[in-house]
């Protein structure tokens, strides 16, 4: 009897794992397809052959310039920034066990943006300084918010309220910095207040790509303890997870990812917030959904950017579209949590 039960459990678990693997693979395919679309579509549509040739370094008339200097950086920025936002959002949501907790709502991206704008506008700093400052500011923001919200007893609600306050301050600081910037222009304002992939150049991407490649494996490695953390502090401790250390390591990884991505694209609204729940809904909870969440994030950013570029007579920056998709979901979530009395 008990062997039969065990067999049943094993089979169900296998099925869940298979589903997870299949969904993750499909998400990767979707993201890859969107990447191809990003490279092929534009003022002129190039066939796959031309794109491939241009990428391999051959000279194709017209295609080489368009693909390699304009579309490739844009695509890579969308891919890696989306991935980074997705992973960091998922980590925060899982770690704090609250779907509302994510770098956007807590105000980390606002802190990073403010630091990045300060570096660019006031210090006229280069890309590496800007990225570093964005990361440091992101970490500082987390520390400040966590320190303020901890009080006698930690409460996520308080953390979110404090985060909204910090966000308001950072946004007004950004507005001020954009005002005193010499070349005050709207595109810059849009990028730093809502996020956009316009005019990103290849050399801006090195930090983003490097951090994604370094920190994703770390977070995946820590994702088992992360899943245990989701069960609650006490359960995690009794299952042998060093909760504090794991939490700190995960938080640093997540903050670095979202800060570096913010330094390149600006805060793309709602991606960090949507990616986690979508990934969980699609792939189930057989394994930690770090990679699926990243892939969903990348797919969201790429799809929103393609829509913004081509679906309307005018081009919309990606952050506007994700904002319009994301905010109703946020409202829906608040309504649902209110009904259940979770807020």
Partner 1 sequence: MRRGLLFTKTFFPVFLLLLALLVLGAIASLLFGARSLSVQEVLGGLFGAGEGLYEASVVQKRVVRTVFALCCGAALGIAGVLMQAVTRNPLADPAILGVNNGAAFFVVCGIAFFQMNTAREYIWFALAGAFVTAVFVLGIGSMGRGGASPLKLVLAGAATSAALSSLVTAVLIPRLNAMDEFRFWQAGSVGAGTWDSFWLLLPFLIVGVIAAVISAPAMNALALGDETATGLGVKTAFMRYVAALAGVILCGAVTAVAGPIGFVGLLSVHVIRALLGPDVRVLVPMSALAGAVILTVSDVVGRLIGRPGELEVGVLTAFIGAPLLIILALKAKVRAV
176 binds partner 1 (CB under 8 A): yes
29 binds partner 1 (CB under 8 A): no
Among candidate residues 318, 329, 302, the one with its CA nearest the CA of residue 269:
318
In the complex, minimum distance from the CB of residue 89 to partner 1, in angstroms, rounded to a whole number: 15
Q: Which of 27, 114, 149, 222 binds partner 1 (CB under 8 A)?
A: 149
Could you give the residue ranges of the DSSP H alpha helices within 1-96? Answer: 2-40, 48-55, 63-65, 72-96
Handedness of CA 321, 322, 328, 329 (dihedral sign): positive
- Two structure tokens written together for 83: 């991935």
Q: Which of 47, 126, 157, 199 binds partner 1 (CB under 8 A)?
A: 157
Among candidate residues 90, 119, 82, the one with its CA nearest the CA of residue 305:
82
60 binds partner 1 (CB under 8 A): no
Nearer to partner 1, 106 or 250 (CB): 106
Instruction: Tell me, residue by residue from 265 to 284, as one string, x for binding to partner 1 by CB under 8 A and - for no binding.
Output: ----xx--------------
Would you call 8 helix, strand, or coil by DSSP? helix
Q: Which of 16, 19, 68, 158 binds partner 1 (CB under 8 A)?
A: 158
In the complex, minimum distance from the CB of residue 269 to partner 1, in angstroms, rounded to a whole number: 7
Q: Which of 165, 199, 217, 232 binds partner 1 (CB under 8 A)?
A: 165
Q: Which of residues 303-332 bind partner 1 (CB under 8 A)?
A: 312-317, 319-320, 323-324, 326-328, 330-331
Q: Which of 161, 209, 237, 249 binds partner 1 (CB under 8 A)?
A: 161
In the complex, minimum distance from the CB of residue 79 to partner 1, in angstroms, rounded to a whole number: 23
Measure Cα distances from 211 to 155, 276, 297, 329 in Å: 30, 20, 16, 29
Q: Which of residues 84-113 bind partner 1 (CB under 8 A)?
A: 100, 105
In the complex, minimum distance from the CB of residue 54 to partner 1, in angstroms, rounded to a whole number: 30
Q: Which of 72, 162, 282, 288 binds partner 1 (CB under 8 A)?
A: 162
How many CB atoms lie under 10 A from the CB of residue 55?
Answer: 15
Q: Which of 30, 40, 125, 173 binds partner 1 (CB under 8 A)?
A: 173
Taking CB atoms within 8 Å and a gap of at least 24, the contacts of 275-282 are 275/82, 275/85, 275/86, 275/87, 275/89, 275/90, 275/300, 276/86, 276/89, 276/90, 276/93, 276/94, 276/99, 276/102, 277/93, 277/99, 279/27, 279/86, 279/90, 282/23, 282/27
- State CA 161 to chain mean position distance: 21
The site for partner 1, by CB under 8 A, has a size of: 52
Q: Which of 35, 101, 166, 236 binds partner 1 (CB under 8 A)?
A: 166
Report how far residue 149's alpha carbon sits from residue 160's, in angstroms, rounded to the nearest whole number: 9
DSSP 213-279: HHHHHHHHHTHHHHHHHTT-HHHHHHTT--HHHHHHHHHHHHHHHHHHHHHHH---TTHHHHHHHHH
209 binds partner 1 (CB under 8 A): no
Nearer to partner 1, 174 or 200 (CB): 174
Query: Could you tell me if 300 and 309 are in contact, meaning their C-beta atoms sit under 8 angstroms apart?
Result: no
In the complex, minimum distance from the CB of residue 329 to partner 1, in angstroms, rounded to a whole number: 9
Which among 84-92, 178-186, 232-240, 251-259 is the span making contact with partner 1, rule CB under 8 A? 178-186
Q: Which of residues 179-208 bind partner 1 (CB under 8 A)?
A: 179-180, 186, 190, 194
For binding to partner 1 (CB under 8 A), which residues are involved?
100, 105, 148-149, 151, 153, 155, 157-158, 160-162, 164-166, 168-169, 171-173, 175-176, 179-180, 186, 190, 194, 269-270, 312-317, 319-320, 323-324, 326-328, 330-331, 334-335, 337-341, 343
């Amino acid at each position: 009897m008990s062997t039969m039960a065990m067999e049943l459990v094993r089979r169900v678990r296998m099925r869940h794992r298979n589903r997870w693997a299949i969904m993750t693979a499909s998400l990767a395919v979707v993201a890859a397809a969107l990447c191809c679309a990003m490279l092929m579509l534009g003022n002129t549509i190039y066939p796959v052959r031309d794109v491939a040739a241009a990428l391999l370094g051959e000279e194709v008339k017209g295609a080489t310039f368009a693909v390699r200097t304009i579309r490739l950086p844009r695509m890579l920025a969308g891919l890696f920034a989306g991935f980074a936002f997705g992973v960091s959002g998922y980590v925060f949501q899982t770690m704090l066990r609250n779907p509302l907790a994510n770098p956007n709502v807590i105000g980390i991206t606002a802190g990073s943006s403010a630091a990045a704008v300060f570096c660019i506008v006031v210090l006229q700093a280069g890309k590496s300084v800007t990225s570093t400052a964005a990361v440091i500011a992101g970490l500082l923001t987390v520390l400040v918010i966590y320190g303020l919200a901890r009080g006698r007893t930690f409460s996520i609600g308080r953390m979110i309220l404090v985060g909204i306050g910090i966000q308001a301050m950072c946004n007004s600081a950004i507005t001020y910095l954009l005002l005193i910037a010499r070349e005050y222009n709207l595109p810059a304002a849009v990028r730093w207040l809502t996020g956009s992939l316009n005019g990103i150049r290849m050399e801006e991407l090195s930090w983003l790509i490097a951090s994604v490649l370094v920190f994703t494996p770390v977070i995946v490695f820590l994702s088992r303890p992360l899943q245990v953390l989701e069960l609650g502090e006490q359960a995690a401790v009794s299952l042998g997870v060093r909760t504090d250390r794991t939490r700190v390591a995960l938080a640093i990884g997540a903050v670095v990812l979202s800060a570096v991505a913010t330094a390149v694209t600006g805060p793309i609204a709602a991606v960090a917030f949507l990616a986690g729940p979508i990934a969980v809904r699609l792939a189930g909870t057989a394994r930690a959904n770090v990679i699926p969440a990243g892939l969903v994030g990348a797919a969201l950013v790429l799809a929103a950017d393609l829509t913004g570029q081509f679906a309307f007579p005018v081009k919309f920056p990606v952050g506007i579209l994700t904002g319009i998709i994301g905010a109703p979901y946020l409202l829906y979530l608040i309504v649902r949590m209110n009904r259940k009395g979770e807020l």
